[in-house]
Chains A and B, each alone.
Chain A
Amino acid sequence: MMTVSYSWLMALSAAIFTIGVAGVLIRRNIFVMFMSIELMLNAVNLAFVTMARRMGSMDGQVIVFFVMTVAAAEAAVGLAIIISIFRNRETVNADELKLMRW
């Protein structure tokens, strides 16, 4: 059987990324939007690891390491903000959180 071509892995990454984008654009619930963002980040991580493996260097994995760290920090702060919003507005519906409009 043939071995896996890296382009398949890249395609998988692209697919997951696209699904994540769809989630961000379509869902109203802020949590789900957030999770979709995490999805996108992971898709990109997959792409990085794939290409690192292809090129035989560790740089891609270092990037993934940092992405994970930053994603953790971002998740923490983001969730804190969501909690704060929920305290004031009692809703996590993105359609109703339109303060910065004209």
Chain B
Amino acid sequence: MTTVHFPALGLILLFPALGFLFNLFYGARWGRRWVNVVGPGVIFAAFAVVFVSFIRLLTLPAGSVLTVTLWRWIQAGPFHANFTLQMDALSALMTLIVTGVGALIHVYSVGYMAHDDDFARFFAYLNLFELSMLILVLADNLVLMFMGWEGVGLCSYLLISFWYTNPAFAYAGRKAFVANRVGDAGFLLGMFTIVATLGSHGSWTLNFGGIQSHLALFTTQTATIATLLLLVGATGKSAQIPLYVWLPDAMAGPTPVSALIHAATMVTAGVYMIARLHFLFALAPTTMELVATIGAVTAIYAGSIALVQPDIKKVLAYSTISQLGYMFLGVGVGAFTAGVFHLMTHAFFKALLFLCAGSVMHSLDGEQDMFKMGGLRSKIPITYATMLIATLAISALPPFAGFFSKDQILESVYNSGHHGLWILGIITAAMTSFYMFRLIFLTFYGESRVEEAKAHHIHESPSVMTTPLIILAVLSIIGGWIGLPEHVLWGNKLSAFLAPSVGEFTPIMHGSALMLTAVSLSLALLGIIAAWYFYLVAPGMPYLIAYQLKAGYNLLLNKYYVDELYNLIITRPLFWLSTLVLGRVIDAFIIDGIVDGAGLMVETGGQLSRRIETGNVQQYAFVYVLGVLAIVAYYLYLVTH
């Protein structure tokens, strides 16, 4: 493995950092014209550096790594964790996505936030997010990665509750942060387990390279414990069961935030982490099974909720959770390249979907309820066309991007012997195409159900918003073509590129690729036809079915009442504990008692000692005399002995 010193990597972090500082301190004062250039501009600059680094990496033999140590960070005896960036194939792909899609979303935000007075703060947070995400994916050790991990969690909180004057939005941000925090606790414990295991044998390190070279020090048990804990962190960040509950609420943030953070980048951090530590997870087959199972169950679970949601952004949110489930499923069965491939294509079409949704909302003055839309096809044609492309991509129809990645995952799942999970996967594929085309038909087709007041000024978004849509649409079409199945044209270039970083997939069996593809494709088409039928041909049908299966419908509409359940068994008891026990007893009584008691002691001491000050000079002189007596007595003692 060749390691090349490449200082330019530092620039990738420098540009977003400078952008953040500028927007934070000078943005409001220098005005919109500067912020609109600096905000996206620094990300484009970072993308340029990433691209150059990527080209450099391609010229090196496979498995090479570009690295630079920016400064020595933690040096605690034998344990070192430096601020070192490393770019291997996996990190290169991730940074290309983060900066590329990120830059497009920054440009889109210029248009989206054109009427918001708080634009400087928005771009400052967006730049800070980019910085944190880049630290996460470029880190060469777990500690630095955790720093980025926390940073994106913080930015997620800041951006979700961007319009903080609305209490509901603020609560959504808080919910996201707390749920993430639970995951972070797991991540931390996982890190501790790893470093403790390695350290007990003398090698104190959390560098990825270091862990990989000392893999022999892990027993199956320690590896399982560590990976399970890390998995808790991944489920928090990537919104899987059981810590997914924050993602639907996170739609309270501005739509570019949903696109960037909760579709394309931050939520993929969990998948990235598992891919990055693939060697450790490979030692713990139990955890891998759990990863795959969680992924598949979450996918079908979230898909079922998305079937009946009326809010356009909520549908996309549950769709994101579902697609992340696919990625977990892929990495869980050992197909790391397939999982990462789907991560990339998903970034393209999900970001595009969110941005289009934002464009739709922008044209309708903020309307989010799909049952109040309809017939927008002719009125906002660019948005319609790009959203249709994205929907075709997510429904996994060839030749669009999603087809190749999802197909690769499902094929790997089948070939690894997990046939039950495979069935869950294809059912979810059918659901996916159904609810996505439901979204298209409700929004763009049929009679216009838009409110009178909004119907008058439906207009296409400005080009600063539609241009990123077009670019992402192109990527959603051609993005999958770097991962073609074997023997088709140039084969799976992506797999070959990533293999040194994330390992190869070892299939147990070889099901017919053609048959598997045919099954999933036909199910996807089935979903489209069903949606067409339900929403265009017989628009009354959904209402009829909902009425007949009222209990089931309500269960799905209310997200299986999970939020209420969590509230009951976790939130309320914790509130009770903190207000009554910790608040009244420990805080008010004990801690305040100690603090007040210290003050009281001093006061009492003062009260007692002030009595010495009688103002009576003779008393003072008396004390002097006592002192003299003592000294003379001492000298007497010295003289006589």
Q: Are A24 and B618 neighbours in the complex by a CB distance under 8 Å?
A: yes
- Does any Cβ of A come within 8 Å of B71's Cβ? no
Give Cα A99–Cα B622 distance, bound, in whole angstroms.
18
Q: Mark B609-621, 1 if CB is under 8 A from A, else 0.
A: 0110111111001
Contacts of B613 in A (CB 8 A): 100-102
Give Cα A94–Cα B618 distance, bound, in whole angstroms.
8
Give Cα A75–Cα B616 distance, bound, in whole angstroms.
21
Give Cα A101–Cα B615 distance, bound, in whole angstroms.
4
Q: Are B615 and A25 neighbours in the complex by a CB distance under 8 Å?
A: no
Q: Are B616 and A95 neighbours in the complex by a CB distance under 8 Å?
A: yes
Give Cα A95–Cα B614 distance, bound, in whole angstroms.
10
Contacts of A25 in B (CB 8 A): 618, 621-622, 625
Interface size on A, residues (CB 8 A): 13
Q: Mark B625-640, 1 if CB is under 8 A from A, else 0.
A: 1000000000000000
- Does any Cβ of B come within 8 Å of A54's Cβ? no
Contacts of A101 in B (CB 8 A): 613-616
- Does any Cβ of B come within 8 Å of A41's Cβ? no
Give Cα A83–Cα B366 distance, bound, in whole angstroms.
90
Q: Mark A11-49, 1 if CB is under 8 A from B, else 0.
A: 000000000010011100000010000000000000000
Closest to B610 in A: A102
Name B126-161 residues within 8 Å CB distance of A: none
B629 to chain A: closest CB distance in Å?
A: 10
B347 to chain A: closest CB distance in Å?
A: 76
- Does any Cβ of B come within 8 Å of A98's Cβ? yes
Contacts of A26 in B (CB 8 A): 618
Closest to A22 in B: B625
Give Cα A25–Cα B628 distance, bound, in whole angstroms.
14
Q: Are A100 and B615 neighbours in the complex by a CB distance under 8 Å?
A: yes
Give Cα A98–Cα B616 distance, bound, in whole angstroms.
6
Among A26, A33, A95, A102, max chain B CB count under 10 A is at A102
Chain B residues touching A, majority SS: helix
Contacts of A97 in B (CB 8 A): 615, 617
Closest to B614 in A: A101
B639 to chain A: closest CB distance in Å?
A: 13
Q: Mark A58-102, 1 if CB is under 8 A from B, else 0.
A: 000000000000000000000000000000000000110111111
Q: Are A24 and B621 neighbours in the complex by a CB distance under 8 Å?
A: yes
Contacts of B610 in A (CB 8 A): 102
Q: Are B611 and A102 neighbours in the complex by a CB distance under 8 Å?
A: yes
B616 to chain A: closest CB distance in Å?
A: 6
Q: Are A94 and B617 neighbours in the complex by a CB distance under 8 Å?
A: yes
Contacts of A24 in B (CB 8 A): 618, 621
Give Cα A33–Cα B616 distance, bound, in whole angstroms.
13
Give Cα A94–Cα B622 distance, bound, in whole angstroms.
14
Contacts of B614 in A (CB 8 A): 98, 101-102
Contacts of B618 in A (CB 8 A): 24-26, 33, 94
Closest to B611 in A: A102
Q: Are A21 and B625 neighbours in the complex by a CB distance under 8 Å?
A: yes
Give Cα A102–Cα B611 distance, bound, in whole angstroms.
7
Closest to B618 in A: A25
Contacts of A99 in B (CB 8 A): 615
Contacts of A21 in B (CB 8 A): 621, 625
Contacts of A95 in B (CB 8 A): 616
Contacts of B617 in A (CB 8 A): 33, 94, 97
Give Cα A42–Cα B585 distance, bound, in whole angstroms.
68
Contacts of B611 in A (CB 8 A): 102
B625 to chain A: closest CB distance in Å?
A: 6
Q: Mark B584-628, 1 if CB is under 8 A from A, else 0.
A: 000000000000000000000000001101111110011001000
Closest to A101 in B: B615
Contacts of A102 in B (CB 8 A): 610-611, 613-614
B223 to chain A: closest CB distance in Å?
A: 71
Q: Are A98 and B621 neighbours in the complex by a CB distance under 8 Å?
A: no
B622 to chain A: closest CB distance in Å?
A: 6
Q: Mark B302-322, 1 if CB is under 8 A from A, else 0.
A: 000000000000000000000
B607 to chain A: closest CB distance in Å?
A: 9
Give Cα A57–Cα B611 distance, bound, in whole angstroms.
48
Give Cα A33–Cα B620 distance, bound, in whole angstroms.
13
Q: Are B622 and A98 neighbours in the complex by a CB distance under 8 Å?
A: no
Closest to A95 in B: B616
Give Cα A95–Cα B619 distance, bound, in whole angstroms.
10
| A102-B610, A102-B611 given; A94·B616 CB < 8 A | yes
B59 to chain A: closest CB distance in Å?
A: 86
Contacts of B622 in A (CB 8 A): 25
Closest to B613 in A: A102
A16 to chain B: closest CB distance in Å?
A: 15
Give Cα A10–Cα B617 distance, bound, in whole angstroms.
28
Give Cα A24–Cα B625 distance, bound, in whole angstroms.
10
Contacts of B615 in A (CB 8 A): 97-101
Contacts of B625 in A (CB 8 A): 21, 25
Give Cα A97–Cα B621 distance, bound, in whole angstroms.
15
A51 to chain B: closest CB distance in Å?
A: 17
B501 to chain A: closest CB distance in Å?
A: 78
Give Cα A33–Cα B622 distance, bound, in whole angstroms.
13
Closest to A24 in B: B621
A76 to chain B: closest CB distance in Å?
A: 19
Name B212-234 residues within 8 Å CB distance of A: none
Give Cα A26–Cα B611 distance, bound, in whole angstroms.
21
Can you spell out 28 A-B residue pairs with CB atoms less than 8 angstroms apart?
A21-B621, A21-B625, A24-B618, A24-B621, A25-B618, A25-B621, A25-B625, A26-B618, A94-B616, A94-B617, A94-B618, A95-B616, A97-B615, A97-B617, A98-B614, A98-B615, A98-B616, A99-B615, A100-B613, A100-B615, A101-B613, A101-B614, A101-B615, A101-B616, A102-B610, A102-B611, A102-B613, A102-B614
* A98-B616, A100-B615, A101-B615 given; 19 more Cβ-contact pairs under 8 Å: A21-B621, A21-B625, A24-B618, A24-B621, A25-B621, A25-B622, A25-B625, A33-B618, A94-B616, A95-B616, A97-B615, A98-B614, A99-B615, A101-B613, A101-B614, A101-B616, A102-B610, A102-B611, A102-B614
Q: Which 6 A-B pairs have the closest CB atoms?
A: A101-B615, A98-B615, A102-B610, A100-B615, A102-B613, A101-B614
